[in-house]
Structure 1
Amino acid sequence: MNSEPLERRGHAVLDLPSRDFKAMKIAQLLGLPPNGPRRRLLEIGCGSGGISRWFGDAGPMRWDVDAVDVEDVRLVRDGYRFQTVSGTTLPFEDACFDVVLTNHVIEHVGDEAAQRAHLREVRRVLRDDGVAYLAVPNRWMPVEPHFKLPFLSWLPMPLSHAYVRLAGKGTHYDCRPLTCGRLEPMLTDSGFAWRQRTADALRLTFELERPDAPLYRHVLQHVPDAMYAVARRAFPTLIYTLAPLTR
């Protein structure tokens, strides 16, 4: 998924147990009950295949699932259909999915024009009564998550490329994390009503994976929504649920 000449590498998460927790969190954020109607779901950038498998036949949903990625690094292949893609265009007809997931994908597709094209494609294949999930690293996170380098994403691209080379992490920086100020107008322009759900996702992460963690039980569980709203631009990961504006 690339509109630039720079080679873009895969950065898939291959930890399968974490994918089950991620899928559970996504389902809850989107309000998708396991006893609801059978739906059709698309995961863009499926990586290990764990999330697609969970929605397909490993979890409680048992949905009709398609997945795409720029390379095939899957660890699980059952329970869903898979295709490789080479650009932002999706190989599906209009309005054919009830749910679309784009989880840490948009930072990999290229420049702003490619990112906007990615969002338009999500909107194109999503039904008017559908929902979508989008997560992207915040550009202002202290440590860039793909290359593990402090302040890498803060720099202009030429300096980011040089930093990656000097650190021995590769030949160039192939990600473009976003900020709330850059992403949210793009979401609106692409035909979405959106809600930032980063605080909800943080709470769910602890409830599903570490419910007895002291930090959660004594601090985060009691932080009011108003404080999360004030800090929403500073979260290291930006998480949104999307709905077509025509709903």
Structure 2
Amino acid sequence: MSESSGKRHLIEKLDKRRIRVRDIDRVFRLANHTPSSILDVGSGNGAIIGYYSEYGYETVGIEVSESAVKQASKQFPGTKFIHYDGLHFPFGDSSFDTILLNDVLEHISYDDIEQVLAEIHRVLKPNGLVYISVMNRWQLIEPHTLIPLLTWLPRVAWNSVCMRLKKIDFSNVWPYTRGRLQSLFKRHSFSFDDLTNVYVQHKFHGVNPIGNRMTSRIVRLLQRTRLIRIGYFLALKVSVLVYVARKT
């Protein structure tokens, strides 16, 4: 990849991340939550937490990729980025009032997530808020491979289908159903609210552009045929899941 194309790719990723900030901000408002100290778990290139640092929030990002930490530190010097092992958070108890888990949980195994949630509960202040967006097992288009209905199949078939169709290893993705996600919160003493409707509304009204062509075409067809209400109801079932959880 050339230097110019690499920079263009980074800018495109930053723009998409900043669009997601609109979803997060609306969720904060609906939850009546004003953040002060924010931890971004799996901060990636730093665009989301970097946005909040620009507006004066105390911000920290933790990331398992050393190269991502280096890149984010250069791009967003106002945020402290820390490389960590993915399981142990390098902070004292009750360090943050807000924690972001943006498209991260599906990259943590169902076994390891128990340790991660315990750490989140530990470093979150009393009545602190966690924002979660996570891949829904029932999404029509699997977002990493773009294979329709992939995760509707039994889990044992996922990787073989990916290898056959895309030559992609799919053994390290762990999507969620609402039931699995809510059970996880309960086991770790979090109260929670389902705010997936925020994400769906932004998609339907163009605030957050729809990411793949097939889904976009379906929405446009529903709009033309005046079946948008039915489409909205169905979208709630197959959308990315968006939740807030509070430490109880």
TM bin, normalised by shorter chain, reads: 0.7 to 0.9
* Pairs aligned (count): 219
Partner residue of 2:60 out of 52, 60, 66: 66
Secondary structure, aligned partner of 1:65: strand
Q: Is the 8 A contact 1:129 1:243 kept in 2?
A: yes
Q: Closer, same or farther in 2 for the Cα pair 1:219/1:79, shift >3 Å? A: farther
The DSSP-based 3-state class of the residue aligned with 1:15 is helix
Residue 90 (structure 1) aligns with: 89
Q: Report how far residue 106 of structure 1 moved.
A: 0.7
Contact 1:19 1:50 (C-alpha < 8 Å) held by counterparts: yes
Q: Are residues 152 and 207 of structure 1, via their aligned partners in 2, closer, same or farther at CA, if it must alter by over 3 Å?
A: closer
Alignment CA distance shift 1:42-1:52 (3 Å): same
Q: Residues of 2 paired with 1:103 and 1:18: CA distance? A: 12
Q: CA deviation at 1:66?
A: 0.4
Counterpart selection for 2:244 from 218, 228, 241 = 241
Alpha-carbon distance between aligned partners in 1 of 2:94 and 2:39, rounded to the nearest angstrom: 12
Looking at structure 1, the residues matched to 176 and 56 of structure 2 have their Cα atoms a distance apart, in angstroms, of: 33
Amino acid in the other structure paired with 1:237: V
C-alpha distance in structure 2 between counterparts of 1:115 and 1:128, whole Å: 21
Which blocks of at least 5 consecutive residues in structure 1 are unaligned?
A: 1-11
Partner of 2:117: 119
Secondary structure at 1:128 match in 2: strand
1:28 and 2:26 aligned: yes
Q: Is the 8 A contact 2:26 2:198 kept in 1?
A: no
Q: C-alpha displacement at 1:13, in angstroms?
A: 11
Alignment of 1:57-206 (within 5 A): 57=54, 61-71=55-65, 72-73=67-68, 74=71, 76-110=75-109, 112-205=110-203, 206=205
Rounded to whole Å, the distance in 2 between the matches of 1:171 and 1:201 is 28
Give the corresponding residue for 1:5: none
Unaligned runs of 5+ in 2: 1-9, 210-218
1:3 aligned partner: none
- Equivalent position SS for 2:176: coil
> Normalization by structure 1: what TM-score?
0.77
Runs of 4 or more off by more than 6 Å in structure 1? none
Q: Normalising by structure 2, what TM-score?
A: 0.77
Change in CA separation of 1:142 and 1:124 when aligned onto 2, cut-off 3 Å: same
Q: Tell me: CA distance 1:93–1:32, structure 2 relative to 1, closer, same or farther (3 Å).
A: farther
Q: Is the 8 A contact 2:142 2:149 kept in 1?
A: yes
CA-to-partner distance for each residue in 1:74-131, whole Å, 9 max, x for gaps?
4633220111222222111111001000011111111x22122222222111101211
What is the rounded CA distance, in whole Å, between the counterparts of 1:135 and 1:38 in structure 2? 17
| Structure 2 counterpart of 1:240, one-letter code | Y
Between the aligned partners of 2:175 and 2:197, the Cα distance in structure 1 is 19
Output the aligned Cα RMSD: 3.1
Q: Aligned equivalents of 1:133 and 1:168: distance in 2?
A: 32
Return the letter of the residue paired with 1:27.
D
> How far does residue 186 in structure 1 lie from its aligned partner after superposition?
1.0
8 Å Cα contact 2:145/2:166 also seen in 1: no
Instruction: Identify, as 1 or 2, the structure richer in helix.
Output: 2
